[in-house]
Structure 1
Amino acid sequence: MRLDQDLLDGVVARMLAPPDFFDRIWARAPFHAPGAARACVGLYDGDDFLEDIARARPGPHLVVGAPEGARAYSYHDTAAGLRAAVEAGGVAPLRISDVWHQPDAPERFAWMRALFGSLFCAVSMIYLNPERSENVDLFYAGPGSHLGVHYDTSHTFTIQLSGRRKWVVAETVRLDETLAAERAPDFSPDAAAIFSGPTREIVLMPGDALYVPAYCVHGVTGVPGFPGSVSIGLGIRAFNEIDVVARLLEIVENTRYAAYPPVATCPAGLGAAHRDAKAALVRRVRALLRELDLAVTGIVEAGLHLPDTLGPIAEGAAEPEPAGALRHPETAAS
């Protein structure tokens, strides 16, 4: 089967199928779409992951587990070591959105980029930059793996590419409770989260999709009796006004820093000159904030513009190879 842009757009449409998706589900509750991504089945497996992680990132490579609730981390230099850690109950993540814009990114990421771009256009209002808008991971997980109960700060559409994974998800997002817990003095991001309301259990089969909103508490485990699984989490970062202002400051710093001369600085012992210098600094900061205030309107009101790398698959592009087809002999042997 040829994986063209129409098929990818169809995957997105099925993941957002309910007519009231944005009124009832978006940012509020999980949504399970069985078979929504059946077009992606067979395109990627654990051996592909092992080859691509070696190409995309230098080692050592991270494996995460939560055998006793809190997360534990190990690092591995070889594909054989990584595979063994996964088979022993770990999960190996690969943040592909950190590398897929690069010209030497693995070829197998091309359809994943196009799928994410289509999804982003279907659900998002503005695009800030890769670091502030994209959070896309591949996960290679063993049958006995457990990531612990947690939540993410991205709206994540997970597609099961191979194997099976069991999810337990909160039926609704309890945002006020979650943010209040983050503000507590003893908060630790590595500590297990807590389900404080009804939950739902879902077993993802190959081709299934699951939307989990940002800040929705969930836990993911392997399914005994099945080999390791591979899934992709298409994460769209939740953002607030601080993210927008920070992005605007990044743009100013990267493009116009030389237009702002250094401020005059005078020590307190110079009396009036010291006070005048501080007053001048306050005026300059306020002037910059007024510039940012005008820029906010521009960035929000402008149309949605994504990097070219997230554009549709070009007509006549090469058909994606089946899982494992691009593998080098030395990687397969490891």
Structure 2
Amino acid sequence: MKVLGGLSAQSFLSQYWQKAPLLVRSALPDPSDLIGGDDLAGLATEEAVESRLVTANDWRLRHGPFFEDDFANLPERDWTLLVQAVDHWVPEIAALFDHFRFIPTWRFDDIMLSYSVPGGGVGPHFDQYDVFLIQLSGQREWRIGQTCTEADDCRDDTELNILAQFDEQERWVLEPGDMLYVPPGVAHWGTAISEGITCSIGFRAPSRAEIWSEFAHFMAERDVEFERYADPDLNARTDPNAITSADLDRVQARLREMIEDRDALSLWFGRYMTEPKYSDIASDEPDFSDADIQQQLQVQPLMRNRAARLAYVPGWLFVQGQAVATELNEKQLQWLCNQQELTADSLSDGLDGVPFSLLSELVRKDVFYFEDGEESWV
């Protein structure tokens, strides 16, 4: 694969994924036209967009939204603008995910862009997830440091998680189109040499604590008050204050029964891993019926929102954090999740009978949309 410097997807996963950094020169064709600094600054003025501004001389952190005057008063060097989840707003940026579809799509988190002037950066740090750093424009120097754990100290004079100690191992300058993969826990430090934009493609990696908490919450919602601790095999106690092994065995058996419920686990995991990063972003699609969708498809295709999240297991399609029961078989589910454009003909061929109720649900959830908007509805 070109994006992996000629490595096959499996070779990359076996040799580098969560193991070692990898630098790939010219991983992508010239990406400098994807987005400009003014566009990124414009996004940072929007209330719905998460953005941050970091000055590298004092490691000061400010949160958006920002105003035009905020940018006008900035110095000529030593600052960075970070804009989160640009894939939600710019389809051309969301399309970068397509280069990494050898990784489960439900692992995709978001694409953050950082616009930096010379000297800009966020300091030496490490992430707890995999990240691909792609230089879109300008030059940035990246230094790779030690492998870190939660025991590594961070500076206490800034809100940023900047490492108190950084042990440099390697150093590279990235040009437009170059890419650096950094595994979880590996310290890295990027500093802009010239004005430019760096793309950071991150992946979802829930902590064990999050998994326990979210799964327990899901199971608690499914369970009923009637199901309670029971001990019909209780023996008379000589010491009523003691918690015995038999008592713990009963609790452990109940917990094991819950954890080993594979159907419940898949239902929870599919919902959890497809939850949108920003669930309050509303769709602009008009109200419609199944018949409206069917009729509109005759004159224009449905386009895929590349930032929307889909996944499936047999019998269930997971849509933006919700589970939709479906009679589509695995081949049909795979086909549907892979489509970037749906037409009446392709739906007929791919699904062999169009379930318009499901299609309507996908439009309501902003997974698919009619590109020309409400004014062109028939």
TM-score, normalization: structure 1?
0.62
- 1:209 is displaced (CA, Å) by 1.2
- 1:286 is displaced (CA, Å) by 5.7
Query: What is the distance in 2 between the residues matched to 1:296 and 1:243?
Result: 20
Query: What is the distance in 2 between the residues matched to 1:201 and 1:296?
Result: 47
Query: What is the distance in 1 between the residues matched to 2:185 and 2:48?
Result: 28
- 1:206 is displaced (CA, Å) by 1.3
| Alignment partner of 1:93 is 2:66 | no
Does the 8 A contact of 1:86 with 1:92 survive in 2?
no
Query: What is the distance in 1 between the residues matched to 2:45 and 2:83?
Result: 10
- For residues 163-210 of structure 1, what are the alpha-carbon distances to aligned partners after superposition, in whole Å with 9 as ceiling and x for unaligned? 22111113xx635xx344369xxxx973424334x5221111111111
- 1:72 is displaced (CA, Å) by 2.2
In structure 1, the residue matched to 2:218 is: 251
Query: What is the distance in 2 between the residues matched to 1:208 and 1:65?
Result: 25
In structure 1, the residue matched to 2:340 is: 314
Change (3 A) 1:89 1:210: same
**SS of match in other structure, 1:210:** strand
In structure 2, the residue matched to 1:211 is: 181
Larger Rg belongs to: 2
Where does structure 1 lack aligned partners over 5 or more consecutive residues? 1-9, 265-273, 318-334
Percent identity over paired residues: 21
Which structure shows the bigger proportion of residues in helix conformation? 1
Which of 47, 59, 62 is the aligned partner of 1:74?
62
Which of 155, 161, 166 is the aligned partner of 2:136?
161
Does the 8 A contact of 1:135 with 1:154 survive in 2?
no
Which of 130, 151, 154 is the aligned partner of 2:126?
151
**SS of match in other structure, 2:18:** coil
- For residues 106-137 of structure 1, what are the alpha-carbon distances to aligned partners after superposition, in whole Å with 9 as ceiling and x for unaligned? 2x1x2433432652x4134x847xxxx62531
Query: What is the distance in 1 between the residues matched to 2:71 and 2:249?
Result: 54
Query: What is the distance in 1 between the residues matched to 2:124 and 2:133?
Result: 16
Give the RMSD, CA atoms, in angstroms. Answer: 4.3
In structure 1, the residue matched to 2:166 is: 195
Where does structure 2 lack aligned partners over 5 or more consecutive residues? 230-240, 275-305, 310-336, 344-378
TM-score, normalization: structure 2?
0.56
- For residues 240-267 of structure 1, what are the alpha-carbon distances to aligned partners after superposition, in whole Å with 9 as ceiling and x for unaligned? 54444334234335x626x346989xxx
Does the 8 A contact of 1:32 with 1:211 survive in 2?
yes
Query: What is the distance in 1 between the residues matched to 2:29 and 2:242?
Result: 68
- 1:26 is displaced (CA, Å) by 1.5
Query: What is the distance in 2 between the residues matched to 1:82 and 1:262?
Result: 59
Match runs of 1:104-253 below 5 Å: 105-106=88-89, 108=90, 110-116=91-97, 119=100, 121-124=101-104, 127=106, 134-170=109-145, 174=147, 178-181=149-152, 190-196=161-167, 199-223=169-193, 226-227=194-195, 229-239=196-206, 241-252=208-219
- 1:159 is displaced (CA, Å) by 1.4
Query: What is the distance in 2 between the residues matched to 1:86 and 1:93?
Result: 16
In structure 2, the residue matched to 1:31 is: 22
- 1:31 is displaced (CA, Å) by 1.0
Does the 8 A contact of 1:66 with 1:148 survive in 2?
yes
- 1:157 is displaced (CA, Å) by 0.5
